[in-house]
Amino acid sequence: MNLETYFHKRDEGERRLGTALTDIALDQRLEQFVRETAQNSADEAQDGLTPELLYRFDQLEGSRLDEFLDAINWDTKFRDHLEAVAENDDEIGVQNMVDRIERGTLPLLMVEDKNTTGLTGDEFSDDTNYASLIQDFGRSTKDESEGGVHGVGASVLWGFSGIKTAMFLTTPEGWADTDVPRFVGRIDLPFHEYGGKEWHGDGWIGNSDTQGRRAVSIEGPAAADIAADALHIDESRARADATGTTAIVVGFREPSRSRRSPQKVIERIEDLAVVYYWPLILEDGLEISVQAPDDISPSAIDPTTNKDLEAFIEAYQQRDSASETLDAAPDVAAINIPLTVPAHKDGGSSTDAEVTLVVRSHESRPDSMPNQIALFRGARHVVKYRKYDHIARSATQHFQAIILAGKARHPFGSVDDDIPDSDLVVEDFFRKAEPKAHDTWEKEVSKLEHNYPGGSSEIDTLFKDTLPAHLTELLTAAGSDDSEMLGDVGRRFPYFSGGPNRGRNRGGGGGGSRTIDRVRSDLNHIDDKYRSTGTLELTEAFEGDWGLTVEFAVLDSSNNVIETVALDNISGADPETGANLSVENHGTLVRVPGGKDTIEFDAVSVSTANLDAVGEGRARLNFTVETDIGGSNT
């Protein structure tokens, strides 16, 4: 059986959509890809079974690539449409992937789940799994009890394809053995002109429809044969053995960054999966494995072997047995924090409720994710790690913690009848507070305000007033010695070592310095930018004018720099007089008069919106001191 690759012609009067629908929905960071695909598998779990999710990378080359391209009508149709799109494309990068394929390599990322319901529903059905994922972008069949409910999460499958194409091999729950697996491909390109005609980017790969409406899915052994023999999707014939879906991202690439190797992509997916889904994995709500091209078999992800998560996991496991006070570190304590949920739009009164804070104290500053709180509700995926460094410093006690909201305060899998109404209200409240990306509770979301007017204000109060007050009280009683905390400041901001007092001195790793004596600083990440305010003191004043610039560095758990974030602007002041200092080099260098050995600074980075490493590890400041700058810019 040959596959049909079908595009819709545009009829007069129909709109021209210049942006692919799946590009509108979400940002295209690898973090978002993992969050959405993992949540989709968890939400589709079969009753009584644990979903099994596998991320597998493959690269087609040689005869395998030739047969794949022949199957999807590459030379006769598909490539021509892609090149027509590429003529006006400055965002997707279609031509880059076409060129890569023509050079002989096609990267594929498979997202395969088992023990899930699969893509149920007839070909032209409504409100089914098949319709919402394949046919009707942006619609959702999920109910309000599931982790993701916006209906746009699966758009990442197309968002990470350089040719905006995803294929699906699925065994739907309840289907007869003779009808599985089921195969279909879906294309989501922008409007384009080709062959003297106008075309929608809406495309299909499958069997010819007898009514000529579009290509349709292929069912039964024929689907397995095509996937295995023509498309070279490994394990295709075994797909019929378990319900679930294999989604194939054709021409995988990361839209927001330069190319990494397949091995690095898989390693990054593994890191992200464990960081955001460790609570669900621990509860046997989801099993995740990864497999790079050179791996003989998949490797299962085990959160308990991840050193960076030890304290968070310890807090979670002791949430029911912990006392309400902290003894000498390391120790675990759990307290309930009041929350008022505004009245629902349908009527009634506000709800007096609680969330649970579980804190694990540390003797010294943790190397990774220090003084952060993991936030999650009943779905048990971490929505965000929120930083409270300033509280750790004021209370002189390092920590890591979790916030349990709604159903997360109760055993995993509890039915609603066994959960107090107040926690069910909180569950719904925070679910509606999540934006489409499910990555925070603190943005103003129209769905929240529509259902719970004033809800954003209550969340703001919780995280900026109520929670900090309770956390401060808890930590202060068990606080560390002040000198210990001051020592940790130096470890957080490792200034450069050595160097003369003239010329250019650059911040590097560890140790003290003859040039910089002390830095007192706050470092925060707010509105997609790093910001640091503080005071820098030199060991001695320079005779001539000197200057200061700052670079922000994002570190992994081993303190290796994984990203550097440039300075957007910096301002400075003389702490003795309060006078503002002059700023040069397009707002990135503060000029300090000779004879001054101290400066107050306020530095802001460029946007980090496209950096998926931000927020998952540590960050530090790298200082550059420019000496002997004279009368010229340096």
- Give this prediction's pTM: 0.76
Cβ(141)–Cβ(129) under 8 Å?
A: yes
Cβ(265)–Cβ(27) under 8 Å?
A: no
3-state secondary structure of 63: helix
Neighbours of 472 (CB within 10 A): 18
Query: In this predicted structure, what is the pLDDT of residue 149?
Result: 41
All structural domains of the chain with their residue ranges: 4-293, 308-476, 493-627
Q: C-alpha distances in angstroms, 528 versus 234, 287, 358? A: 40, 31, 27
> Rounded CA gap, 409 and 284, in Å?
17
Cβ(372)–Cβ(311) under 8 Å?
A: no
Q: Tens digits of per-residue pLDDT, 29-68?
A: 899 999 999 999 999 999 999 999 999 999 999 999 999 9
Neighbours of 209 (CB within 10 A): 15
Q: Which residue has the tokens 């569950």?
A: 427
Q: C-alpha distances in angstroms, 386 versus 375, 439, 444, 464, 477? A: 8, 11, 17, 11, 22
- Return the H-helix or E-strand segment holding 483: helix 482-492
Query: In this predicted structure, what is the pLDDT of residue 351?
Result: 97
> Rounded CA gap, 160 and 152, in Å?
14
Q: Tens digits of per-residue pLDDT, 156-184?
A: 899 899 999 999 999 999 999 999 999 99
Mode of pairing for the β-strands spanning 372-376 and 398-404: parallel
Q: Tens digits of per-residue pLDDT, 370-381?
A: 999 999 999 999
- Return the H-helix or E-strand segment holding 338: strand 332-341
Cβ(196)–Cβ(144) under 8 Å?
A: no
> Rounded CA gap, 163 and 251, in Å?
6
Query: In this predicted structure, what is the pLDDT of residue 585?
Result: 81
Least confident range of 147-161, 281-295, 542-556: 147-161
Query: In this predicted structure, what is the pLDDT of residue 488?
Result: 46
Query: In this predicted structure, what is the pLDDT of residue 557?
Result: 58
Q: What is the CATH number of domain 493-627?
A: 2.60.40
- 249-256 mean pLDDT: 91
Least confident range of 139-143, 402-406, 496-500: 496-500
Residue 191 pLDDT greater than 80, yes or no: yes
Neighbours of 418 (CB within 10 A): 8
Mark residue 22 as left, alpha or beta (left: phi above 0; alpha: psi -120 to 50; beta: remaining): alpha
Residue 514 pLDDT greater than 90, yes or no: no
> Rounded CA gap, 164 and 187, in Å?
6
Residue 136 pLDDT greater than 60, yes or no: yes
- 524-536 mean pLDDT: 83
Residue 461 pLDDT greater than 80, yes or no: yes
If pLDDT is split at 50, 70 and 90, which confidence band does 483 have? very low
User: Which token pair is 494?
Assistant: 């490792």
If pLDDT is split at 50, 70 and 90, which confidence band does 479 have? low
Q: C-alpha distances in angstroms, 587 versus 571, 605, 617? A: 8, 12, 28
- 551-580 mean pLDDT: 80
Query: In this predicted structure, what is the pLDDT of residue 255?
Result: 84
Mean pLDDT (the chain) is 86
